[in-house]
A and B are shown apart, each in its own frame.
Chain A
Amino acid sequence: MKRRDFLKGCLISGAAASLGAASKSWAVGSFEGYPDAMGVLVDTTRCIGCRSCEAACNKEQKLPEPDVPFDDQSVFEHKRRPSEMAYTVVNRYEEADSKNPPFRKMQCNHCNEPACLTSCFVNAYTKTKEGAVIYNGKVCVGCRTCMVACPFNMPGYSYSSAFNPLIKKCILCYDTRLKFGKPPACVEICPQEALTFGLRTDLIKLANERIRETPDRYVDHIYGEKEVGGTSWLYLSKSSFEQIGFDTTLGNEPIISNVKEFLGMVPMVLTIWPALFSGIHLLATRNKDHGDDHHNHSEQEDGKK
């Protein structure tokens, strides 16, 4: 093959590859979740702060023994967040009417377009068709980029393990329950049905119906329906969502939207630019190169000319 033909081929195939890759990555941002994805609707107005969900999670996921019993209410004096010790925690939020303070359970929200998954360069994360965001510890290199990427600050890390530290977070009981069609352990134990399990699409309808039927009980918003592209866990609240510790500044764009345009350019830069600039260089030095093909000179001699 002549060198000119090879370069031409490079140009054409590089352009095709970059266009293909770019259009694919632009489509990612409009993903609205798998049709059969399950979810959990958290009605914070029903939660009584019994911490049964924490206990059930601890046993189901075989987590370490807690520092204090799960029926100890003193933990509510401080705000906690999920860690390697607990994939879910319940926090209490004070209100003017402190007789019935609102409680809120927190755990991984299982985003439709998880930022952890996007940020992971070894593909340790998977969003399953059932809606769970699961994690493969075998390929994880422990870089913790996902912890930075998560807009909800949910992934924990087993800092206590010196040789095989892993990301620790709620997996929606995928291995033991979800994939067999069973609800997560926290949902099953909740005495108040503050946690409702079902198809995510059904839960949104159900939540809207609760708001419509009892408008005095809820603010007119389902947290997680649209936030960062939608999450499998959805929330209803009586007081504003900021008051019970939700970040309401996240917007509705999935985190991947912040990087997809840049990442779409990478193939172009890596494939087109070398070919393009080589081509320009060749064109610019065409006169000098002219006649190369007719003689059997080596590259080095060409350079010397």
Chain B
Amino acid sequence: MHTKRFWLAGIMVVLLLAAVPGMSLGISVPDNVTLNSQSKIYEPFQFNHAKHIQLTKECSDCHHHTTGTLVQDPNCIRCHRNSGETKEVSCKGCHVADPFSAVALKGKDPKTYHLDKPGIKAAMHITCIGCHKKTSGPTGCLDCHGRTKEGDALYNSGAYTPKHKPAKSGHGGH
């Protein structure tokens, strides 16, 4: 028992040492970020963070007010003119995974100003696709993430593509 606990504690300490100082000192800027690791219908993929740092001028283009040049949006400046960098820089630090669950909806404090905060999935897609549209970057679903077998089944695509139907049966609009 004792040895087990010791090992657990040891692992925890190593993890904390690895994670905390990097974050707080702002030195851990990852070159790659694994995205989509929770999704069933899409494969996890590597987001090339280093490449995007070169492509964009400002960290705040994506990380809005959390790091780099701070608030520029006139709407945000009204309150955040003097706001400093935030401790939490990663997207998932603020944007939740399930914004519409009963718990999430009930937990909303109506007095909070930022009630209209997208979930993590939307935050990323709106930011990525929004910028890619302006800069002619890739915007198709499969341009960024590969689909799993389950995903193909959902979209009736790939191996699950419908066999050609001669007549459009049952397509009765009235």
Contact = CB atoms under 8 A, between A and B. Distances in A.
Interface residues of B, number: 35
Contacts of B102: 180-182
B100 A48 contact: no
Contacts of B115: 202, 206, 209
B28 interface: no
Contacts of B122: 190-193
The A interface, classified by DSSP as helix, strand, loop or mixed, is loop
A192 B116 CA distance: 13
Nearest to B165: A67
B154 A55 contact: yes
Contacts of A66: 156, 162
A182 B160 CA distance: 28
B172 A64 contact: no
Interface in A101-115: none
A68 B172 CA distance: 16
22 contacts: A58-B156, A65-B156, A67-B162, A67-B168, A70-B154, A70-B156, A83-B171, A83-B173, A147-B174, A157-B172, A160-B170, A182-B101, A183-B100, A188-B100, A190-B122, A193-B99, A193-B118, A196-B100, A198-B100, A206-B115, A209-B115, A213-B75
Interface of A: 46, 48, 50, 52, 55-56, 58-59, 64-72, 81, 83-85, 100, 144, 147, 156-160, 180-183, 187-188, 190-193, 196-199, 202, 206, 209-210, 213-214
A159 B172 contact: yes
Contact of B170 (A55, A59, A84): A84
Contacts, number: 101
A59 B116 CA distance: 29
A181 B172 CA distance: 33
Contacts of A188: 100
Residue with the highest number of chain A CB atoms closer than 10 Å, among B99, B102, B168: B99
Interface string B135-174: 0000101100000000000111100111001001111111
A206 B125 CA distance: 20
Given A83-B172, A144-B174, A48 B155 contact: no
Contacts of B170: 64, 83-85, 158-160
The B interface, classified by DSSP as helix, strand, loop or mixed, is loop
Nearest to A207: B116
A192 B129 contact: yes
A65 B162 contact: yes
B126 A192 contact: yes
Interface of B: 75, 99-102, 105, 108, 115-116, 118-119, 121-122, 125-126, 129, 133, 139, 141-142, 154-157, 160-162, 165, 168-174
Contacts of B161: 69
Given A70-B156, A160-B169, A183-B101, 20 more contacts: A55-B156, A69-B160, A69-B161, A70-B154, A71-B142, A71-B157, A83-B173, A84-B172, A156-B174, A159-B172, A160-B170, A180-B102, A191-B122, A191-B141, A192-B129, A193-B122, A193-B126, A206-B115, A213-B75, A214-B75
Given A55-B154, A71-B141, A191 B169 contact: no
Contacts of B116: 206, 209-210
A192 B161 CA distance: 25
A149 to B, nearest CB: 12
Given A66-B156, A193-B126, A206-B116, A48 B174 contact: no
Contacts of A48: 129, 139
A100 B142 CA distance: 19
B130 to A, nearest CB: 9
Contacts of A56: 154
A69 B155 contact: yes
Nearest to A58: B156
Nearest to B41: A189
Nearest to B154: A55
A46 B157 contact: no
